[in-house]
């Protein structure tokens, strides 16, 4: 939907809302349950989701189109409701993929080594975002004596950190791309996007270590908040770099690569949530978050390997070669 030089900034805006979402929910819910019955936290979410659905139906048109088409109009004419459901596209022959070919598109793209390795590395880096988010309130109450309202205020930390990460990324990713292009005679490779992760690693590691020590040794809650903020700031930069890399690598499969990156993020987050509390109670948050740092470091080595071998892997596996791109 956007020019190549706009990709990183647009992804940065989109990623900002993605990273903010798991923190805005607990933040608002904490204030709701402090004054209302807890069911209203879910009721408000249901109302918001319904309003979003109505707004999409009213204001958002179908954006799918074949980049290989020579048709002057990218979306065939027809009743709006038929375009929304894909009926008009099928009738007009605009959608060339059979059902089987459509099902195989995500399978084809995850078999590309670059996409698989990137999604897996992102899973290892992002998993702790959801894990910490879903269990942190369990530690804040006994360690600092926080009630629901105080926990709500504590959630302003990741919200601010994500916004700062979005602001920093607004210039960071473009600056990296321009510097790389200038040094390589006007030639740009998708692997250049991954240099932003070098910038984010100190924030990820220091944030986890500081948070682990603060929770176990009961440092001032502001230190725990600072550690959390550093980690969220770093993961915001990582998210944009990862998405930009896979989308630049396979622009003809933007929907599929984005889906696999999102799968990695969601899958990792929900898996670790099941054992985060038991893990912390058994070994303490210092060892727990130290291990998290080790996992994040292993993921970073995967990123380094992609920077070195990524171009060759893309050449070896070839393009997605879909009927529609």
| Residue 118: CATH number of its domain | 1.20.1250.20
How much is the average pLDDT of 64-77? 59
Q: Can you tell me which residue has the tokens 């040794």?
A: 217
Please give the angle made by the CA atoms of 82, 87 and 88, to the nearest 5 degrees. Answer: 75
CB 288 within 8 A of CB 212: yes
> pTM of the prediction?
0.87
Report, in this order, helix, strand and coil percent for the chain, each rounded to 5.
80, 0, 20
Kindly state whether residue 88 falls inside one of the protein's structural domains: no
The span from the CA of 231 to the CA of 129, in Å, is 8
74 confidence band (pLDDT: 50, 70, 90): low
What pLDDT is stored for residue 269 in this prediction?
84
Residue with tokens 């009721």: 43
How far is Cα 261 from Cα 267, in angstroms, rounded to an integer? 10
Nearest to 175 by CA among 159, 193, 190, 163: 193
Has residue 70 got a pLDDT over 70? no
* Separation between Cα atoms, residue 54 and residue 35, nearest integer Å: 29
For 135-182, how does the pLDDT look when each residue is reduced to its tens digit (9 = 90+)? Answer: 888 888 888 888 888 888 888 999 999 999 989 888 888 888 888 888
Structure confidence at residue 122 (pLDDT)? 94
- Compute the distance between CA of residue 244 and CA of residue 39 in angstroms, rounded to an integer: 39
- Residue 164's pLDDT is 93
| Cβ-based burial of 265 (10 A; exposed 0-12, middle 13-18, buried ≥19) | buried
Q: Decide if pLDDT at 16 tops 90.
A: no
pLDDT of 265-277, one tens digit each? 889 888 888 888 8
Q: What is the pLDDT of residue 61?
A: 74
Distance between CA atoms of 196 and 172, rounded to whole angstroms? 7
So what's the pLDDT on residue 93? 63
Q: What mean pLDDT is predicted for residues 74-91?
A: 70
Q: What's the count of helices (H) and strands (E) in the chain, helices before strands? A: 13, 0
How many structural domains does the chain have?
1
Reading the block at residue 77, the tokens are: 């004419």
In a domain, 227, yes or no: yes
Query: Does residue 279 belong to any structural domain of this protein?
Result: yes
Residues spanned by the domain of 217: 4-60+97-317
- Residue 265 belongs to some domain of the structure: yes
Residue 155 forms part of a structural domain: yes
R_g (Cα) of the chain, nearest Å:
22
Q: Does the pLDDT at position 4 exceed 70?
A: yes
Within a domain: 90 = no
CB of 245 closer than 8 Å to CB of 118: yes
The interaxial angle of helices 195-216 and 285-317, nearest 10 deg, is 160
Q: What is the DSSP string of 144-204?
A: H---HHHHHHHTHHHHHHHHHHHHHHHHHHHHHHHHHHHHTTT---GGGGGHHHHHHHHHH
pLDDT at 235 over 70: yes
Q: Is the pLDDT of residue 73 over 60?
A: no
pLDDT higher than 90, residue 121: yes
In the block, residue with structure tokens 């596209």: 89
Within a domain: 101: yes
DSSP 60: P
- Residue 300 confidence (pLDDT): 95
For residue 209, pLDDT over 90 is answered with yes
Contact 284, 216 (CB under 8 A): yes
The span from the CA of 183 to the CA of 4, in Å, is: 19
Chain center to CA of 212:
23
Share of the chain above pLDDT 90, in %: 39
Over 90: is that where the pLDDT of 306 sits? yes
Q: What is the mean pLDDT of residues 280-290?
A: 90
**What's the rounded mean pLDDT across residues 14-21?**
86
**Size of the chain in residues:** 325
Residue 264 lies in a domain: yes
pLDDT reported for residue 257 = 92
**312 class by beta-carbon count within 10 Å (0-12 exposed, 13-18 middle, 19+ buried):** exposed
pLDDT of 193-203, one tens digit each? 999 999 999 99
Please give the share of the chain, as a percent, with pLDDT higher than 70. 92
Residue 65 is predicted with a pLDDT of 61
Q: Could you read off the pLDDT of 84-110 as tens digits, one per residue?
A: 777 776 776 666 677 788 888 899 999
């Amino acid at each position: 939907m956007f020019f190549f030089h706009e990709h990183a900034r647009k992804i940065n805006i989109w990623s900002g809302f993605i990273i903010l979402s798991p923190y805005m929910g607990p933040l608002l819910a904490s204030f709701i349950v402090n004054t209302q019955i807890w069911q209203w936290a879910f009721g408000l979410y249901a109302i918001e989701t319904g309003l979003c659905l109505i707004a999409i139906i009213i204001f958002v048109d179908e954006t799918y189109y074949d980049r290989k088409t020579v048709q002057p109009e990218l979306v065939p004419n027809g009743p709006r409701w038929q375009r929304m459901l894909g009926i008009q596209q099928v009738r007009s022959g605009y959608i060339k993929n059979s059902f089987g070919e459509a099902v195989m598109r995500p399978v084809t793209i995850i078999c590309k080594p670059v996409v698989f390795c990137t999604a897996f590395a992102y899973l290892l880096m992002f998993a702790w975002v959801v894990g910490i988010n879903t269990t942190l309130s369990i530690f804040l109450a006994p360690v600092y004596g926080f009630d629901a309202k105080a926990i709500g205020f504590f959630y302003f930390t990741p919200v601010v950190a994500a916004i700062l990460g979005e602001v920093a990324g607004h210039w960071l990713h473009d600056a990296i791309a321009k510097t790389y292009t200038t040094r390589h005679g006007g030639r740009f490779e998708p692997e250049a996007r991954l240099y932003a992760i070098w910038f984010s690693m100190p924030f990820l590691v220091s944030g986890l270590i500081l948070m682990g020590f603060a929770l176990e040794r009961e440092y001032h809650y502001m230190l725990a908040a600072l550690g959390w903020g550093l980690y969220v700031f770093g993961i915001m930069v990582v998210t944009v770099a990862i998405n930009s890399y896979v989308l630049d690598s396979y622009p003809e499969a933007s929907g599929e690569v984005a889906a696999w990156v999102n799968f990695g993020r969601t899958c990792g987050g929900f898996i670790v949530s099941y054992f985060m509390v038991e893990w912390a109670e058994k070994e303490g948050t210092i060892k727990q978050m130290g291990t998290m740092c080790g996992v994040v470091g292993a993921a970073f080595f995967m990123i380094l390997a992609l920077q070195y071998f990524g171009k060759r892997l893309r050449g070896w596996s070839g393009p997605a070669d879909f009927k529609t791109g």
